[in-house]
């Protein structure tokens, strides 16, 4: 045993002794108090929570970010209660505290774990300076439906990408030492399947077969456990008829028994009492019973535990051992965080808020998150030498609050640098900028300002349109049935296009949008998500060619909303669509006879391909992939196989490319997706340079849950692809053989 492992084992044993000793001193009421998290959002929280804190009836508070208030709450808990147990202070620090990073979906477009890790690290340092020691992030729900508002908080549709980036966020929040100054506990949410809500409506039911649940939706959560995440949050939604907050299959069988998770589980906001609303229980007492026996250690915001657990124990329905287990899970994390030794916060021990380092991290994150969807005839980048005037049009060119995105409780719009401000700064007096907002909000209708926008475009060399959706149109409880650009933005695009001037669209949004009604009326599209505090400088750098776009789509963009859910790693079906069997609605002869012979899985009015595929993203460089090879071509159980390809930059622009590896298991005991992401690398390639990209695959990378719900790897034939998106055609193959 190494010295490091031995020391860690010793520390773990010491914490367990402290947990056991403290539990032995606690009354039942004090134990239940540790299982209760209360809202402390009002400035006078020490007054209205004071008595409960002194009585040991509160284990955690949330929604407070004032260091003086938090220190006073901690003082009451530590110095005026019988046992002096410090508080966990939770906050939704989702993609930044004061320095706001791109929304998580935007960070996922970077395909860069460093972006996720560094952004979470900045968020932890800034939040810790306010006294916050626990964040409700990362959200690692697999999201295949762009209508769902919370796709903005997610890391997209792919389990592998989400698992890698989610683990990086955990590491950023928690660091190498959970007790170190500036680290905060992370929370993997929402466990599990929330992203599959019916019709993309938030809080709706989810119905996911167990095989799909294990192979897709649970994988990122397992990655979070492996990364050392300290807490889990249950989903609002039900899973196959059992709401997650009362689901012992998820919370006991999978999380505790199969994964050996030793942190604690918190409910989502008041979701214990909502078990009755779902129809699982008859009243709050039964809801408390169902949640605590299923495995929810702490109740967020509700009072079912405080009101009913003591009576349930006295009646013999809930054992003291169950309560002790739940409380031990919570105390363990408090000890690991070092809260007993350091309950108070001294902001002077932490870096200043919105430091130069933080802003640089935010700028780099925004830069790598932007995806260039289209660039006809090299419309981008814009050259100061070739244009003398620029029309900047649209409701999101200069909207400091809107570009921050959802879940930015503590973000300050006045710190935001907008694209308009950045363009003015970078272009100075060299290029005249004609700015017309045109629409008051992204939802506005046609107005006389459209004519002003058209005039500005007609008088300029290039029209630059900043389109999208306001931040309030995505996020929790903000699902949309129509995911076109809101309002009359498409009409604005049409009118500006009619001037005959080049039209560049920059889209700021919290989800994939259906862009079919504008894509043919613009020459180039940069999809910037909601890019955060430093989105403006990053966008300006990309527009002006200071940097090359390098983001890739973490979620598929449908042509029309009727294709939803649409995702790259679908199953093949028995009748897979191919161009030769796809007849679109306008090509069907009048009076054609009904037949199903030769028909395949597609929509008559939309085909089967998305507008833009998962992994898609263009560059100012001209990348070319060649010479894919596999070594060895036959892999024995327990071995690894190396897949390689050559990547060439056939341009005079140095740029980064996200190289992606996909695999398909051709025949298995349960059907497997047509492609699965198994690796990615961000590579800088100089002009004229050719580099060799290598990926290694082992048996674990090929494993899946079979018919018996056990993880397995089966011998057989596999296809592999290396390229710049999920629809790359550069393919090879290998065989996995049983060495026996």
**503 and 428 housed in the same domain:** yes
Domain match, 604 and 676 both? no
Residue 3 reports pLDDT greater than 80:
no
CA 729/CA 596 separation, integer angstroms: 29
| Model confidence at 240: pLDDT above 70 | yes
What residues contact 637, with CB distance under 8 A and at least 6 apart? 699, 713, 715, 736, 737, 738, 739, 740
Question: Residue 717: beta bridge partners?
Answer: 735
Residue 678 lies in a domain: yes
Is it the case that residue 634 has pLDDT exceeding 90? yes
Look over the chain and give the mean of its residue pLDDT values, rounded to a whole number: 96
What local confidence, expressed as pLDDT, does residue 43 receive?
Answer: 79
643 and 522 together in one domain: no
Confidence band for 4, pLDDT divided at 50, 70 and 90? low
Residues 308 and 285: their CA atoms lie apart, in Å, by 5
Is residue 7 scored above 90 in pLDDT?
Answer: no
Task: Record the tokens describing residue 366, joined without a space.
Answer: 């925004």
Helix spans in 524-677 (H)? 535-543
Neighbours of 498 (CB within 10 A): 13
Q: Domain boundary residue among 555, 583, 609?
A: 609
- What tens digit of pLDDT does each residue of 478-504 get? 999 999 999 999 999 999 999 999 999
Q: How confident is the model at residue 429 (pLDDT cuts 50, 70, 90)?
A: confident
Which of 551, 582, 609 lies at the terminal end of a domain, its last residue?
A: 609
- Would you state the torsion angle of the CA atoms of residues 266, 270, 273, 279, taken in this order, to the nearest 10 degrees? -100
Contact present, 265 and 230 (Cβ < 8 Å) = no
CATH code, domain carrying 175:
3.20.20.300
If we measure between CA atoms, which residue out of 154, 157, 163, 164 comes closest to residue 112? 164
Q: Find out whether the peptide bond into 377 is cis, omega within 30 degrees of 0.
A: no
- Maximal CA-CA distance, the chain: 84
pLDDT digits (tens, 9 = 90+) for 701-725: 999 999 999 999 999 999 999 999 9
Q: What is the Cα–Cα distance from 139 to 134, expressed in whole angstroms?
A: 14
23-34 pLDDT, tens per residue? 999 999 999 999
SS3 for 555?
A: coil
**Does residue 617 sit within a domain?**
no
Assess if residue 339 is contained within a domain: no
List CB contacts of 247: < 8 A, sequence separation 6 or more: 234, 239, 294
Q: Hey, is 206 helix, strand or coil?
A: strand
Element housing 163 (H / E) = helix 159-174
Query: Is residue 449's pLDDT more than 70?
Result: yes
Q: Which two tokens stand for residue 2?
A: 């190494």
Domain membership of residue 618 (yes or no) is: no
Identify each DSSP E strand in 313-436 by its residue range: 371-375, 389-393, 432-436
Give percent above pLDDT 70 in the chain: 99
pLDDT in tens, 115-150: 999 999 999 999 999 999 999 999 999 999 999 999
Domain match, 520 and 597 both: no
DSSP per-residue letters across 640-676: EEEEEEEEEE-SS--EEEEEEEEEEESS-SS---S-E
The CATH number of whichever domain residue 627 belongs to comes to 2.60.40.10
In a domain, 711, yes or no: yes
Q: Residue 574's domain spans which residues? A: 567-609
417 & 316 share domain: no
- Tell me whether residue 340 is in a domain: no
Strand, helix or coil for residue 679: strand
Examine the domain organization and report whether 592 and 638 are in the same domain: no
Burial 355-369 (b: 16+ CB within 10 A, else e): eeebbebbbbbbbbb
Strand locations in 248-393, DSSP E?
A: 264-266, 299-300, 371-375, 389-393
Q: Is 376 a catalytic residue?
A: no
- Does residue 453 lie within any of the structural domains? yes
Does one domain contain both 638 and 605?
A: no
Cα distance from N-terminal residue to C-terminal residue, the chain: 33
The domain that holds 402 is classified in CATH as: 3.40.50.1700
- From 559, 575, 609, the end of a domain falls on 609
In degrees and rounded to multiples of 5, residue 592 shows phi and psi of -60, 140
Residue 500 sits in the same domain as residue 600 = no
Query: Residue 149 in contact with residue 236, Cβ under 8 Å?
Result: no
* Tally of domains within the chain: 4
Kindly tell me the burial class for residue 550, based on how many C-beta atoms sit within 10 Å of its own C-beta (0-12, 13-18, 19 or more): buried
Q: Do residues 24 and 333 lie in contact, with contact meaning Cβ atoms separated by under 8 Å?
A: no
Sign of CA dihedral 552, 147, 219, 175: positive
Cβ atoms within 10 Å of 454's Cβ, excluding its own: 22
Mark whether 492 and 590 lie in a shared domain.
no
- Nearest Cα neighbor of 161 from 684, 661, 731 is 661
Do 686 and 724 have their domain in common? Answer: yes
Position 2 scores a pLDDT of 61
8 Å CB contact between 166 and 207? no
Cβ atoms of 227 and 170 within 8 Å: the answer is: yes
Same-domain pairing of 264 and 172: yes
| 1 pLDDT higher than 60 | no
What Cα–Cα distance (Å) separates residue 136 from each residue in 119, 144, 157, 576, 696?
A: 15, 22, 20, 41, 34
Helix (H) or strand (E) holding 134: strand 134-135
Residues 306 and 452 in one domain: no
Q: Exactly one of 145, 268, 297, 665 is catalytic; which is it?
A: 268
| 350 in a structural domain | no
Among 228, 101, 220, 94, which residue's Cα sits nearest to residue 161? Answer: 220
For residue 582, what pLDDT band results from cuts at 50, 70 and 90? confident
pLDDT band of 597, cuts 50, 70, 90: low
């Amino acid at each position: 045993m190494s010295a490091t492992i031995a020391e860690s084992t010793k520390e773990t044993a010491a914490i367990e002794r402290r947990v056991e000793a403290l539990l032995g001193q606690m009354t039942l009421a004090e134990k239940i108090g540790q299982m209760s998290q209360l809202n402390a959002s009002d400035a006078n929280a020490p007054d209205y929570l004071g008595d409960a804190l002194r009585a040991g009836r509160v284990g955690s508070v949330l929604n407070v970010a004032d260091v003086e208030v938090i220190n006073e709450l901690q003082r009451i808990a530590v110095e005026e209660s019988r046992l002096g147990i410090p508080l966990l202070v939770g906050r939704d620090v989702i993609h930044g505290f004061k320095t706001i990073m791109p929304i998580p979906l935007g960070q996922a477009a970077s395909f860069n774990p460093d972006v996720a890790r560094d952004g979470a690290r900045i968020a932890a340092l800034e939040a810790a300076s306010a006294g916050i020691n626990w964040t409700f992030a990362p959200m690692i729900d697999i999201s295949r439906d762009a209508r769902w508002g919370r796709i903005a908080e997610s890391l997209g549709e792919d389990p592998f990408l989400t698992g890698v980036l989610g683990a990086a966020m955990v590491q950023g929040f928690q660091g190498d030492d959970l007790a170190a100054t500036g680290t905060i506990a992370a929370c993997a949410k929402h466990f599990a399947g929330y992203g599959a809500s019916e019709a993309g409506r938030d809080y709706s039911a989810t119905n996911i077969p167990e095989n799909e649940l294990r192979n897709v939706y649970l994988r990122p959560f397992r990655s979070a456990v492996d990364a050392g995440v300290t807490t889990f949050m249950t989903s609002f939604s039900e899973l196959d008829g059992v709401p997650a907050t009362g689901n012992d299959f998820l919370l006991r069988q999978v999380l505790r028994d199969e994964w050996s998770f030793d942190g604690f589980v918190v409910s989502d906001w008041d979701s214990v009492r909502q078990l009755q609303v779902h129809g699982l229980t008859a009243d709050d007492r039964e809801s408390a019973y169902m949640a605590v026996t299923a495995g929810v250690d702490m109740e967020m915001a509700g009072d079912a535990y405080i009101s009913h657990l003591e009576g349930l124990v006295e009646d013999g329905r809930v054992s003291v051992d169950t309560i002790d287990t739940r409380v031990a899970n919570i105390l363990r994390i408090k000890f690991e965080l070092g809260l007993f030794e350091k309950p108070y916060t001294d902001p002077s021990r932490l870096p200043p808020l919105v430091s130069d380092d933080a802003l640089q991290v935010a700028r780099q994150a925004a830069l790598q998150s932007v995806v260039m969807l289209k660039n006809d005839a090299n419309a981008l980048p814009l050259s100061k030498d070739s244009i003398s005037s620029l029309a900047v049009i649209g409701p999101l060119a200069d909207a400091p609050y809107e570009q921050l995105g959802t879940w930015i409780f503590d973000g300050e719009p006045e710190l935001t640098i907008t694209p308009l401000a950045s363009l003015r700064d970078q272009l100075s007096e060299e290029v005249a900028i004609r700015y017309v907002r045109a629409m008051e909000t992204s939802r506005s209708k046609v107005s006389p300002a459209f004519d002003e926008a058209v005039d500005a475009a007609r008088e300029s060399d290039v029209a630059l349109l900043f389109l999208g959706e306001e931040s309030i149109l995505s996020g929790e409880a903000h699902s949309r049935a129509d995911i076109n650009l809101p309002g009359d933005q498409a009409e604005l695009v049409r009118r500006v296009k009619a001037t005959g001037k080049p039209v560049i669209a920059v889209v700021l949004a919290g989800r994939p949008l259906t862009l079919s009604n504008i894509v043919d009326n613009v020459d180039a599209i940069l999809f910037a998500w909601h890019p955060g505090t430093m989105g403006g400088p990053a966008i300006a750098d990309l527009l002006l060619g200071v940097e090359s776009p390098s983001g890739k789509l973490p979620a598929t963009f449908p042509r029309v909303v009727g294709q939803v859910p649409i995702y790259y790693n679908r199953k093949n079906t028995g009748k897979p669509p191919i161009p030769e069997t796809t007849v679109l609605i306008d090509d069907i002869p009048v009076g054609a006879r009904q037949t199903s012979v030769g028909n395949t899985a597609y929509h008559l009015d939309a085909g089967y391909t998305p507008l833009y595929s998962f992994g898609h993203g263009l560059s100012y460089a001209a990348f070319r992939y060649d010479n894919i090879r596999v070594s060895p071509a036959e892999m024995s159980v327990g071995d690894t196989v190396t897949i390689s390809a050559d990547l060439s930059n056939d341009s005079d622009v140095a740029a980064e490319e996200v190289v992606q590896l996909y695999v398909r298991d051709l025949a298995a005991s349960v059907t497997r997706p047509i492609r699965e992401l198994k690796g990615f690398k961000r590579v800088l390639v100089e002009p004229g340079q050719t580099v060799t990209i290598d990926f290694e695959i082992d048996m674990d990378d090929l494993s899946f849950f079979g018919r018996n719900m056990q993880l397995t790897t089966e011998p057989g034939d596999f296809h592999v692809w290396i390229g710049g998106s999920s629809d790359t055609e550069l393919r090879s193959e290998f065989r996995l053989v049983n060495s026996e």
